[in-house]
Chains A and B, each alone.
Chain A
Amino acid sequence: MKKIVFAVLAVAFALSLPAVSETRLTPERSVLENGVVLLTSEQRALPMVTLHFLIQAGSRYDAEGREGLANLTSRLLTYGTRDKTALQISEILDFIGASLSTSCGQDVATVSLTVLKKDLDTGLNLLAEVLTASVFSPEEIERQKQSVIASIRAKDEDPGQVAQIKFSEALFPRSPYGRQVEGSEDSLKRADRAQLLEFYERFYRPERTILAVVGDISHQEIAQKLTQAFRPWKKGAAIKDSPPVSPPGPANIIRVNKTITQANITMGHGGVRRSDPDYYAIQVMNYILGGGGFSSRLMDSVRNERGLAYSVSSHFSAEKYVGSFAVTMQTKNETAQEAIRIAKEEIQRIRQEKVKDQELQDAQDYLIGSFPLRLDTNRAVANFLSLVEFYGLGLGYPEQYPELIRRVSQEDVLRVAKKYLQPEKLIVVVVADQKKAQIQK
């Protein structure tokens, strides 16, 4: 699920890049001595600072059979360093009312801190400890393993998540992108302190890190403070990084039985990477199909006309190394087959006939117009800047964005619909009370 969450974020941000002047971001970029790429946006309105680290230490670096190691490493960062116990760390954070969170996705791990300006030095010193001197004590490892196992189980009680998990597995068989970031109860049992330390030493390195800082501080000032606080953080040994090849799995129907009232449906297939030149045309096409919230065709035909679902949407998730397309919806067990049929019809329709001029224009107007408005918090800006760097879009990208969207034509939409929507390759996952759902081929 982490992957999905991250993917959605990435798409949302990449989608809606605004003109810099409009967003008042005034971003600056530099590379620190130790290799950290630093991006900043000075925002003086409030006495607070947000730091967002993106580190190439995601679960795709987990060796086979050791799934969950990257995630465990990320969770343990704040549970003890050479100088401080887990309790001391949380005591410091709680006392200054700061929020420090870590997360692990498939490509990257993130560490985010928001502090009051007056507590910035305290926050920076703690971050430096967490990123250079975590100890991974056996007791804390055991504690986190139990907690991860509990969260794996908790996911099982959410039918929507179960559908997503099964979909990823079927879409990227034998690839780290098809596995859960958390690993499994089995693979977690095998994780030990030596492996965690090795992972940490190898992957948590400054030259693998993008840091976005947004708030009440200038680029120069924070660069100096970082150089000071992160003095012990040194470049690591070079890592041969060849992203896994992940050919999508074949069409399939996957049924999971649960005693529930709704069928949770995820259906889709492979997609494109973020760097694909068709990315923008695809985003426009998908907005019309099912990405556009209450304005989409799927919403009209599944929800508004027939009352079959509360929520229905489609996504093209374009990651750095993989991509996917998926339609997600929930409907009472008895109407699962009908909802799938209608979704398939909409996929066919957009492949067969040009979208209306008005639909195209509305989609473009939304995508271009909404973006500056989405960057309305420091946290959102920090996320955005770090992803612009991660995808290699360049700080000039915001100015180019409106044009990239505006030049998509009706013909482009039809072309990418034909090329990237592939009804014959659909993997359909249905988590439902199967006796009632009666899903046929």
Chain B
Amino acid sequence: MRLLLGLSFFAFQLLLSAPLLAQTSRVQEFVLDNGLKVLLLEDHKSPAVTFQVWYRVGSRNEEDGKSGLSHFLEHMMFKGTNKVGPEEYSRIIAKNGGRSNAFTTQDVTVYFATMSREKIGIEIDMEADRMANALLNGKYFEPEKKVIMEERRLRTEDNPVSSLAEVTAAMAFTVHPYRRPVVGWMQDVESLTREDLRRHYQTYYAPNNAFIVVVGDFATEEILAKIKAAFGPVPRGPMPPKVKIEEPPQSGERRIILKKEAELPFLLIDYHVPNLNSPDSFALDLLSVVLAGGRSLRLYQDLVYHKRIAQSVDADYDGLSMDPSVFSVTAQVMPEKDPLEVEKAIYDLLERVKSEPVNERELEKAKNQIEAAFVFGQDSVFGQAMRTGQYEATARWQLLDSYLAGIRKVTTADILRVAKKYLDPDQRTVGVLMPIKEQNQ
């Protein structure tokens, strides 16, 4: 991420808390001759327009020794073109009252700005320009490398829970590129070259490997004309190589202990699961809510409220990833409590959802939560654009239209079935953060 912290947290929250949105078929799809897909959703409740360009490239497309390349490229995309000077992009957006930024994930790299209807054309022109003409200027390469190394120190090295997530992913995935961190390993980042960036840019930044999402206060005809005028001339590129790596089946639990200066132990348990292309994804979504969708739900009630061994607990199903990802259960352990006790309590609860159906009211409660979140999610134009983009990146945006119907069909028997199928002890990777105290002062 090129982001300042506040906004990045916001985006992260969005991803986690509301995996759903969008009303039926209000999105309109257009495809330009050069292969660029454009998704438009008019929403006039606030005077803002969010414009996003999604490139289908992330750490998933990287190779050993070159981790962090997509993220590095994202940073360098702000170093100008022949028309726009280094760091000028952000200034131009800001002085036109807009806010802009970019982020990189395992699957995608996304650039965005939120502006008024009158000004959004400025963003459209600059995004089209840098899709084809980024200079990736050598003079700014070394200072930016240092910035990224500082970013890694800030987000990962000095953040115990992030460090745990990183090493746990590196163990849950042995072959698939999801084993590598998006920001890249420190040594890889250090050794990346300008030529690596150039090649990555030429391979992946093309209209036929990207799509545009626009949500907000605009008129479809007007904005489509602007987009066509700006992006139409960008030439189609060769099709980028496909990632065909499949993670081999796991047979047997994997464990990793991280010892680091920290205050509270932390537990992260990952189970391999399919993404939203699987019909099981609806039941997996609901399973995560049944387990951890609120204070009245099972994990919180047992671990936080009754046993008082965890400060917080969560369950998260990551169906919005291009390749199969993980269902994770996390817990921040109370001071002086044993993480192993927390781990055992979690397994006891998971065994229960595997051995007997949840009751009907629990399921109804989980469905109500998802439906309410669906409506709340439409309150933000940025949030709507994010989710439309995530669905399009992972599968097709049209799946959003059938999301709620899919959720409503899930039965208690479905929940039982997916719990049995995926919450398999042999399929899990367990990461434990063990705090150590250094001698201070």
Q: Give 1 or 0 for each of B130-147: 1 = CB within 8 Å of chain A CB.
A: 000000000010111111
Contact between B335 and A150 (Cβ–Cβ < 8 Å)? yes
B403 to A: closest C-beta gap in Å: 15
Contact between B97 and A306 (Cβ–Cβ < 8 Å)? no
- Chain A residues within 8 Å of B78, by CB: 294
- Chain B residues within 8 Å of A321, by CB: none
In chain B, what residue has the closest Cβ to A99? Answer: B376
A151 to B294, CA, bound (A): 19
Which B166-222 residues sit within 8 Å CB-CB of chain A?
none
Contact between B365 and A94 (Cβ–Cβ < 8 Å)? yes
Which residue of B48, B335, B364, B440 is within 8 Å of A257 (Cβ)? B440
B308 at interface, CB cutoff 8 A: yes
Which residue of A23, A94, A260 is within 8 Å of B158 (Cβ)? A260
Contact between B301 and A157 (Cβ–Cβ < 8 Å)? no
A62 at interface, CB cutoff 8 A: no
Contact between A93 and B311 (Cβ–Cβ < 8 Å)? no
Contact between B373 and A310 (Cβ–Cβ < 8 Å)? no
In chain A, what residue has the closest Cβ to B157? Answer: A261
Contact between A294 and B143 (Cβ–Cβ < 8 Å)? no
- Chain B residues within 8 Å of A331, by CB: 150
A345 to B373, CA, bound (A): 48
B338 to A: closest C-beta gap in Å: 15
B393 at interface, CB cutoff 8 A: no
A185 to B: closest C-beta gap in Å: 10
A292 to B4, CA, bound (A): 11
B379 at interface, CB cutoff 8 A: yes
- Chain B residues within 8 Å of A362, by CB: 91, 94-95
Which A352-403 residues sit within 8 Å CB-CB of chain B?
361-362, 365-366, 368-373, 375-379
Contact between A373 and B373 (Cβ–Cβ < 8 Å)? no
In chain A, what residue has the closest Cβ to B2? Answer: A294
In the complex, identify which listed stretch (B257-265, B394-402, B412-420) lies at the interface while the others stay far away: B257-265
Q: Give 1 or 0 for each of A278-294: 1 = CB within 8 Å of chain B CB.
A: 00000000000000111
- Chain B residues within 8 Å of A292, by CB: 94
Contact between A24 and B46 (Cβ–Cβ < 8 Å)? yes
A243 at interface, CB cutoff 8 A: no
Which residue of B4, B116, B334, B440 is within 8 Å of A313 (Cβ)? B4
- Chain A residues within 8 Å of B390, by CB: none
Give the interface residue-count category, chain A.
Answer: 35 or more
A232 at interface, CB cutoff 8 A: no
B344 at interface, CB cutoff 8 A: no
A206 to B148, CA, bound (A): 50
Contact between B372 and A116 (Cβ–Cβ < 8 Å)? yes
Contact between A23 and B46 (Cβ–Cβ < 8 Å)? yes
A331 to B370, CA, bound (A): 41
Contact between B295 and A294 (Cβ–Cβ < 8 Å)? no
A121 to B149, CA, bound (A): 52
A72 to B: closest C-beta gap in Å: 16
Task: Check A262/B381 contact, CB under 8 A, given A45-B45, A94-B297, A366-B94.
Answer: no
- Chain A residues within 8 Å of B143, by CB: 304-307
Task: Check A369/B97 contact, CB under 8 A, given A157-B160, A307-B145.
Answer: yes
Contact between A159 and B158 (Cβ–Cβ < 8 Å)? yes
Which residue of B147, B296, B372 is within 8 Å of A87 (Cβ)? B296
Contact between A87 and B301 (Cβ–Cβ < 8 Å)? yes
Contact between A259 and B438 (Cβ–Cβ < 8 Å)? yes
B34 at interface, CB cutoff 8 A: no
Which B107-163 residues sit within 8 Å CB-CB of chain A?
114-116, 119, 140, 142-151, 153-154, 157-160
Contact between B296 and A94 (Cβ–Cβ < 8 Å)? yes
A143 at interface, CB cutoff 8 A: yes
- Chain A residues within 8 Å of B99, by CB: 293, 370, 373
Contact between A262 and B158 (Cβ–Cβ < 8 Å)? yes
Which residue of A96, A313, A377 is within 8 Å of B372 (Cβ)? A96
Task: Check A146/B334 contact, CB under 8 A, given A47-B375, A97-B372, A376-B46.
Answer: yes
Contact between B47 and A372 (Cβ–Cβ < 8 Å)? yes
A303 at interface, CB cutoff 8 A: yes
A439 at interface, CB cutoff 8 A: no
B305 at interface, CB cutoff 8 A: yes
A373 to B113, CA, bound (A): 11
A97 to B293, CA, bound (A): 9
Which residue of B97, B145, B157 is within 8 Å of A370 (Cβ)? B97
A34 at interface, CB cutoff 8 A: no
B143 to A: closest C-beta gap in Å: 4
Which residue of A87, A99, A143, A373 is within 8 Å of B114 (Cβ)? A373
Contact between A258 and B380 (Cβ–Cβ < 8 Å)? no
A147 to B296, CA, bound (A): 17
In chain B, what residue has the closest Cβ to A379? Answer: B379
In chain B, what residue has the closest Cβ to A305? Answer: B143
Contact between B335 and A43 (Cβ–Cβ < 8 Å)? no
In chain B, what residue has the closest Cβ to A93? Answer: B294
B272 to A: closest C-beta gap in Å: 28
Known: A150-B335, A376-B48, A377-B379. 6 other contacts (CB 8 A): A98-B372, A304-B87, A310-B148, A361-B95, A370-B97, A372-B46
Q: What 6 pairs between A and B have smallest CB-CB spacing?
A: A369-B97, A97-B372, A307-B146, A307-B143, A90-B295, A294-B90
- 29 A–B contacts from the bound complex (CB under 8 Å): A43-B45, A45-B44, A94-B294, A94-B295, A96-B372, A97-B370, A114-B376, A150-B264, A153-B264, A154-B264, A156-B263, A158-B159, A257-B441, A261-B157, A262-B153, A262-B158, A307-B144, A313-B4, A330-B150, A330-B154, A369-B96, A369-B116, A370-B99, A373-B98, A373-B99, A373-B114, A376-B46, A376-B382, A377-B379
